[in-house]
């Protein structure tokens, strides 16, 4: 019996069981209810849904593009729509779904990366130690605020002065900060370097404020650390003049020069630029030095990169965010540096020694194979999807999504990490026709637009889908629009 008809019968009190004269009409009504329900089921299984989705793939937005798409019932696996589901495609940031799944399975949702602090001796009566060493394990989410918390913890433990140097030991990862498959990288924040010790996702903000017309513009960096040295060549133009600001960077001896040129109109709103650093460990050391000073902890020596001595005493183990929160930051904001840090951490866990990009890709593949995913046609190069050599199929992405949905151990954390249509993260202004009913990972590279995740359909069922577009000819906005229409149609 249809579930809705069964529920209807349960709602009928026993004293109202139909008489013999009422049986036929009641049975007819129940039968009609079953037919109506079946008709709705047929609509999303084999009726009008597939033609509507195919029409989106055939639209001008995707004309000339390579498209692979698959949508299935997330619980049963029944296919709702398929278009070249085994086509090997560049995933862009949809690769992060696979990285998140592998990392969650490897470390578990409660894992926390630990930043270890050792001292040459326990603080003496005046709170002095001969030296300090900070050793990272790959925590990708250490911010200025957390470095302040670590410094405050050390003060609480009695530290007041370091007579010698503070070594910043990032040897848990190798020294390759950017994946060679990425080619030439820019100073943009999404190209931030990867290191076992970092701060603020390897990025910082440059704020340019206009002065009076003809005068220099005012420039400041956040955080205001000595590592970042501003060279301000920017001017204030006349009111309503064009903004011609440009930023560049140049490495120095233990510093990074931030060069600002061009002009900003008088009376204009401040301009904010997010940029990545060249030396993530030197930058993190400078942030930590600032926070030690903020907590009245003096340092006589340098705070700089170096291998920590194996001697000394363990002063503190600072625990970072749990893996569930790390995954949320990875998914909601599509953080490349978090993805690659997790990749190298998986390498270090699997093979020992410093974590590497290649070791991480091998460890990720092994972990995903252990989960039973179909990787025969997959090529996994990096963790973020910046590498154009990555290849996945819609079938692999949907299999990963169904594995996530079926996992009590780590599935909820990954589902919660996905941006919500019309709500937050990279989906905050997308698929607004299905607002609140789509959780999906976005992806964008030159010529590549991807979207994979879950849709709650009108019948209450959940679909797992992957929509991968390569080599589009009508621009990224058109490809993204087609992806949004695809999930909106699924939701309807």
Closest-CA residue to 91 (of 389, 373, 329): 389
**Euclidean distance between CA atoms 117 and 123, whole angstroms:** 13
Q: What CA–CA distances, in Å, run from 483 to 91, 167, 180?
A: 14, 49, 30
Active site residues: 93, 96, 334
Element spanning 317, H or E: strand 313-322
Positive or negative torsion for Cα 53, 55, 61, 65: positive
- Tell me the DSSP string of 88-120: -B--GGGHHHHHHHHHHHHH-TT-EEEEEEEES
If you search the block for the tokens 């007041």, which residue do you land on?
Answer: 160
In sequence order, the 6+-apart residues with CB closer than 8 A to the CB of 314 are 116, 117, 118
Which of 8-14's residues contact partners 24+ apart within 8 Å by CB, and which partners?
Answer: 8/33
> What Rg do the C-alpha atoms of the chain give, in angstroms?
28
Q: Are 470 and 65 in contact (CB under 8 A)?
A: yes
Nearest to 417 by CA among 345, 325, 487: 325
Please calculate the CA angle 439-112-350 and round it to the nearest 5 degrees: 90
Tokens of 152: 């405050």
Name the nearest CA neighbour of 420 among 431, 411, 410, 412: 431
Q: Following CA atoms 482, 488, 491, 492 in sequence, which dihedral angle do they give, to the nearest 10 degrees?
A: -110
Type and span of the H or E element at 411:
helix 411-417
Tokens of 109: 């949702």
Q: Are 168 and 288 in contact (CB under 8 A)?
A: yes
CA 84 from centre of chain:
27
- Residue 84 burial by Cβ neighbours in a 10 Å radius (0-12, 13-18, 19+): middle
């Amino acid at each position: 019996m249809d579930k809705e008809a069964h529920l209807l019968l349960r709602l009928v009190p026993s004293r109202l069981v139909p008489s013999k004269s009422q049986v036929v009409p009641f049975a007819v009504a129940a039968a009609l209810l079953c037919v109506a329900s079946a008709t709705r089921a047929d609509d999303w299984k084999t009726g009008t849904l597939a033609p509507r989705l195919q029409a989106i793939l055939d639209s001008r937005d995707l004309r000339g593009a390579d498209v692979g798409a698959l949508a299935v019932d997330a619980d049963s696996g029944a296919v709702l729509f398929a278009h070249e589901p085994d086509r090997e495609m560049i995933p862009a940031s949809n690769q992060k779904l696979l990285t998140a799944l592998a990392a969650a399975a490897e470390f578990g949702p409660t894992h926390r990366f630990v930043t270890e602090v050792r001292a040459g001796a326990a603080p003496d009566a005046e709170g002095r130690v001969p030296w300090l060493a900070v050793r990272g394990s790959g925590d990708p989410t250490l911010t200025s605020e957390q470095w302040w918390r670590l410094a405050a913890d050390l003060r609480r433990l009695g530290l007041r002065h370091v007579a010698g140097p503070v070594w910043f030991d990032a040897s848990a990862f190798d020294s390759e900060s950017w994946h060679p498959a990425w080619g030439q990288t820019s100073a943009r924040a999404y190209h931030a370097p990867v290191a076992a010790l970092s701060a603020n996702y390897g990025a910082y903000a440059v704020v340019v404020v206009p002065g009076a017309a003809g005068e220099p513009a005012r420039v400041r960096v956040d955080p205001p650390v000595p590592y970042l040295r501003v060279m301000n060549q920017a001017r204030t133009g006349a009111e309503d003049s064009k903004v011609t600001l440009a930023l560049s960077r140049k490495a120095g001896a233990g510093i990074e020069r931030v060069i600002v040129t061009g002009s900003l109109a008088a009376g204009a709103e401040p301009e904010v630029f997010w940029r990545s650093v060249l030396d993530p460990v030197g930058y993190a050391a400078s942030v930590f030095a600032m926070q030690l000073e903020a907590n009245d902890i003096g340092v006589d020596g340098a705070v700089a990169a170096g291998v920590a001595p194996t001697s000394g005493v363990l002063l503190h183990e600072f625990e970072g965010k749990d893996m569930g929160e790390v995954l949320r930051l990875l998914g909601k904001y599509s953080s490349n540096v978090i993805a690659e840090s997790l990749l190298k951490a998986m390498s270090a866990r699997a093979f020992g020694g410093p974590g590497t990009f290649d070791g991480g890709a091998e460890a990720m593949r092994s972990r995903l194979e252990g989960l039973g995913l179909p990787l025969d046609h997959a090529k996994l190069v990096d963790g973020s999807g910046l590498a154009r050599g990555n290849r996945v199929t819609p079938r692999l992405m949907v299999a990963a999504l169904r594995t996530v949905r079926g996992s009590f151990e780590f599935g909820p954390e990954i589902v919660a990490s996905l941006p919500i249509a019309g709500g937050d993260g990279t989906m905050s202004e997308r698929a607004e026709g299905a607002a609140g009913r789509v959780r999906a990972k976005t992806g964008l590279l030159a010529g590549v637009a991807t979207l994979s995740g879950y849709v709650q359909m009108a019948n209450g069922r959940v679909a797992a889908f992957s929509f991968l577009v390569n080599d589009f000819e009508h621009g990224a906005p058109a490809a993204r629009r087609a992806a949004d229409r695809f999930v909106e149609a699924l939701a309807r």
